Amino acid sequence: MELLAPSAWQCADFISDLHLHPEDRATFAAFECYLQATTADAVFILGDLFEVWVGDDAAQLADSFEAECVALLSQAGQRLALFVMQGNRDFLMGPSLMTACHATALPDPSVLDFGGQRWLLSHGDALCLDDHDYQQFRRQVRSAPWQQTFLAKPLAERQAIARGLRQASASRKQSGATYADVDAAAALALLADAQALHLLHGHTHKPAQHRLGPDRLRTVLSDWDVAATPARAEVVRITLQADGQARLARIAASAIARPAD
């Protein structure tokens, strides 16, 4: 997908890997404050907004955490342009969720033409080629037959499966297992194919900026975890300058505030 930013846009925010779930109210509250405060014309969520998403019908349960999230996103989606990309945890987000949130589904990868530059946007998991087990799992769960079979299961069964996967993931983290990073050659190939010089992605939870040769960059977004020490909740913001050029900056979500009326 290629997206040409409207000429009226002056600022766009990029976030990823919030991993929202009902046991982490602090991170949800930080996200709520950010969405209500940001003055950006557009917010791009580059995957793993949710710790797990077992189907759009989960948000139809009254008073559920999923319904609470949809209500928050809907408010934001009616005020600004909201784009949501699937991640490796919430790849079952579907069209009914996007409609309820007044959001646009963003394919992975996508190109944003903004500020005289082409920005390549991705969650990043497909570029972690050295994680062979995960790539095999990814191919399986992204297939239409697997998703149709899974979504046909009762909601309670899907939620139980998701809890098991979360526990397995937590155990792997506690064991000190290392995770593959983005493959530089794959990132360069993707940039070349998109005719872009700058890749923005999440997934790895290793916020940094990497130079890929003389004229290409890879910016990694932060994950969000308010309970961590130090707390993590960061926004990558692209703002148009007076000369029409784009400036990229990292901003703590807590530092973003709407001006007083």
Q: Mind listing the pLDDT tens digit for each residue in 222-253?
A: 999 999 999 999 999 999 998 888 999 999 99
pTM for the structure as a whole: 0.95
Tens of pLDDT along 41-72?
Answer: 999 999 999 999 999 999 999 899 999 999 99
d(CA 48, CA 62): 23
Task: Quick: pLDDT tens for 89-101.
Answer: 999 999 999 999 9
As a CATH number, domain 2-255 is 3.60.21.10
Note whether 47 and 90 are within 8 A (CB). Answer: yes
Cα 28 to Cα 181: distance, rounded to the nearest angstrom: 27
Model confidence over 117-133: pLDDT tens digits?
Answer: 999 999 999 999 999 99
Question: Are 64 and 58 spatial neighbours (Cβ–Cβ below 8 Å)?
Answer: yes
232-261 in b/e form (b: 16+ CB < 10 A) is bbbbbbbbbeeeeebebeeeebeebeeeee
Residue 227 DSSP class: T
- Position 260 scores a pLDDT of 46
Two tokens at 68? 């609470």
Bridge partner list, 246: 240
